[in-house]
C-alpha cells in the first residue's frame, strides 16, 4: 500500500516539472486563484447542485492545458474520499423528506445535500492536487514566503519536503527487513514496532547532525535561499484576473438555468 503512496508522491513531483502554459505561470497567481476557487465553491449553500457544475471548467482547463493525466487525478481523489463520504452519507439517512420528484422518481433532501457535498469534495480536492501538479512544491513555498508566511515556517516546509523521500526510503527498508524475518502477524505487535520506530528515530537524529555539519561547511548562516527567480508578469495578472471574474460570474449568475431555459425554448 505504501509503495503506491510513495510512488504517487514522486509522480506528482515529476508532473510539476513539465513545461506548459500553466506550469510557466507564477506560483503566486496559481496559489491565489486556487484559494479563491475553493472559497467560492465552498460558499454555495447546502442544497446547491446546478450552480456547482460550471466550476468543473477550472480543473478541466488546468488538466488539458497542463498536460496532467486525468485518470491519475481521478484515482487520487477517489482514494482519499473517506471522511467526506463517511460524514456526508448520514445526510440521506437523517433527512428523508422528499423534496424533488421528477418523472416519478422522488429524491429526498438528504440525497441532494449529499450530492452537493460530493461535488464540492471533488472540486476542492482536485484543484488542490492540480495546484501541486502544475506548480512545484518549492514554487509554492516561494509563493507562500512572498505572500508573507514567516521564513522559519517556509524553510521548514522546504526541509521537510527534501527529506521525506530519504526517510521514506529508510522506513521502507526497515519494514521490508521486518517482513522478511517475521511470518504471519509476528513482528507487527506494538512492542516490536515501537523499537523499530525508536531505531528510526535515532538514525534520524544522527542524520540531522550530519546534515547540519554539511550545511555549516557550505556556509549556512541561518536562512535558506532560493535560486530560481520568479517574476509576476502580465500573463500572470491576466490569468488571475480572468479566473476571479469567471468565479464571480459563475457564483452570481445562473448559468445552468439560463442554458436550460434557452434550450427548452429552442426545442419548442
Partner 1 sequence: MHMADALLSPAVGTAFWAGTIGTIAYCTRKLKNTMDEKLVPLMGVLGAFIFAVQMINFTIPGTGSSGHLGGGLILAVILGPYAAFIVMASVLTIQAFFFADGGLLALGCNIWNLGIYPCFIAYPLIYKPLVKAGSSPKRITLAALISAVVGLQLGAFSVVIQTLLSGQSDLPFRTFGLMMQPLHLAIGLVEGFATAGVINFVRVSRPEILESVASEHPLPANISIRNIVIGLLVAAVLSGGILSWFASVNPDGLEWSIEKVIGKPEFPEKENVMAPVARSIQKKTAFLPDYNFRKSEGVSEGPMPGQASMPRPVADPGRSVSGILGSVMVLAAVLVAGLAIRAARKK
Q: Which stretch binds partner 1 (CB under 8 A): 91-99, 226-234, 237-245?
A: 91-99
Contacting partner 1 (CB under 8 A), which of 14, 194, 226, 242? Answer: 194
Which residue stretch of 191-199, 228-236, 239-247 sits at the interface with partner 1 (rule: CB under 8 A)? 191-199
Contact characters 100-119, partner 1, x per CB under 8 A: xxx------xx-xx--xxx-
Query: Which cell goes with 109?
Result: 433532501
| 3-state SS, residue 143 | helix
Q: Which of 240, 229, 28 is nearest to 145 (CA)?
A: 28
Please report how close the Cβ of residue 29 comes to partner 1 at its closest, in angstroms.
Answer: 16
Q: Does 34 bind partner 1 (CB under 8 A)?
A: yes
* Residue 12 binds partner 1 (CB under 8 A): yes
**In the complex, least distance from residue 212 CB atom to partner 1, rounded to whole angstroms:** 5
218 interacts with partner 1 by CB under 8 A: no
Residue 140 CB, shortest distance to partner 1, in Å, is 7
Residues of this chain, 125-184, that bind partner 1 according to CB under 8 A: 125, 128-129, 131-132, 137, 140, 149-153, 155-164, 166-168, 170-172, 174-175
Nearest approach, Cβ of residue 59 and partner 1 (Å): 9
Helix (H) or strand (E) holding 1: none
- How many CA atoms lie less than 13 Å away from 39 in the CB half-sphere? 10
Question: Does the protein bind partner 1 through residue 56 (CB under 8 A)?
Answer: yes
Determine, following the binding rule CB under 8 A, whether residue 38 of this chain makes contact with partner 1: yes
CA distances from 232 to 26, 161, 165 (A): 6, 25, 31
Residues 227-246 binding partner 1 (CB under 8 A) are none
Please give the helix or strand (H or E) that residue 40 lies within, else none: helix 27-42
Provide CB contacts within 8 A for 93, sequence distance 6+. Answer: 110
Judged by beta carbon, residue 99 or residue 244, the one nearer partner 1 is 99
Total of chain residues touching partner 1, rule CB under 8 A: 125
The string of DSSP codes covering 151-199 is: HHHHHHHHHHHHHHHHHHHHHHHHHHHHHHH--TTTT-SHHHHHHHHHH
Residue whose C-alpha is closest to residue 123's, from 23, 39, 221, 193: 39
Q: Which of 4, 7, 24, 46 lies at the binding interface for partner 1 (CB under 8 A)?
A: 46
Q: Is 252 in the site for partner 1 (CB under 8 A)?
A: yes
Q: How far is the CB of 67 from partner 1 (least distance, A)?
A: 7
Dump the DSSP string for 220-256: --S-----S-----HHHHHHHHHHHHHHHHHHHS-HH
Q: Among 64, 182, 226, 242, which residue sits at the site for partner 1 (rule: CB under 8 A)?
A: 64
Q: How far is the CB of 230 from partner 1 (least distance, A)?
A: 18
Closest by Cα among 44, 113, 61 to 239: 61
Amino acid at each position: 500500500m505504501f509503495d503506491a503512496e510513495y510512488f504517487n508522491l514522486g509522480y506528482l513531483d515529476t508532473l510539476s516539472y513539465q513545461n506548459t502554459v500553466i506550469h510557466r505561470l507564477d506560483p503566486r497567481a496559481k496559489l491565489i486563484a486556487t484559494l479563491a476557487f475553493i472559497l467560492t465553491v465552498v460558499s454555495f449553500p447546502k442544497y446547491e447542485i446546478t450552480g456547482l457544475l460550471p466550476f468543473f471548467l477550472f480543473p478541466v482547463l488546468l488538466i488539458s492545458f497542463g498536460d496532467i493525466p486525468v485518470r491519475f487525478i481521478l484515482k487520487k481523489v477517489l482514494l482519499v474520499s473517506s471522511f467526506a463520504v463517511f460524514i456526508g452519507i448520514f445526510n440521506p439517512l437523517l433527512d428523508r423528506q422528499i423534496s424533488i420528484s421528477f418523472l416519478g422518481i422522488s429524491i429526498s433532501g438528504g440525497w441532494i445535500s449529499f450530492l452537493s457535498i460530493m461535488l464540492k469534495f471533488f472540486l476542492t480536492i482536485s484543484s488542490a492536487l492540480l495546484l501541486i501538479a502544475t506548480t512545484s512544491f518549492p514554487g509554492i513555498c516561494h509563493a507562500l514566503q512572498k505572500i508573507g508566511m514567516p521564513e522559519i515556517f517556509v524553510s521548514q516546509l522546504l526541509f521537510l519536503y527534501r527529506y521525506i523521500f530519504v526517510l521514506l526510503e529508510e522506513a521502507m527498508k526497515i519494514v521490508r527487513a521486518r517482513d522478511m524475518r517475521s511470518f504471519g502477524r509476528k513482528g507487527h505487535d506494538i512492542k516490536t514496532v515501537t523499537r523499530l520506530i525508536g531505531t528510526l528515530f535515532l538514525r534520524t537524529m544522527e542524520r540531522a547532525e550530519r546534515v547540519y555539519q554539511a550545511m555549516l561547511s557550505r556556509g549556512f548562516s541561518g536562512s535558506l535561499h532560493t535560486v530560481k527567480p520568479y517574476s509576476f508578469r502580465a500573463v500572470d495578472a491576466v490569468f488571475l484576473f480572468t479566473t476571479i471574474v469567471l468565479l464571480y460570474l459563475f457564483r452570481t449568475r445562473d448559468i445552468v438555468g439560463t442554458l436550460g431555459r434557452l434550450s427548452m425554448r429552442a426545442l419548442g
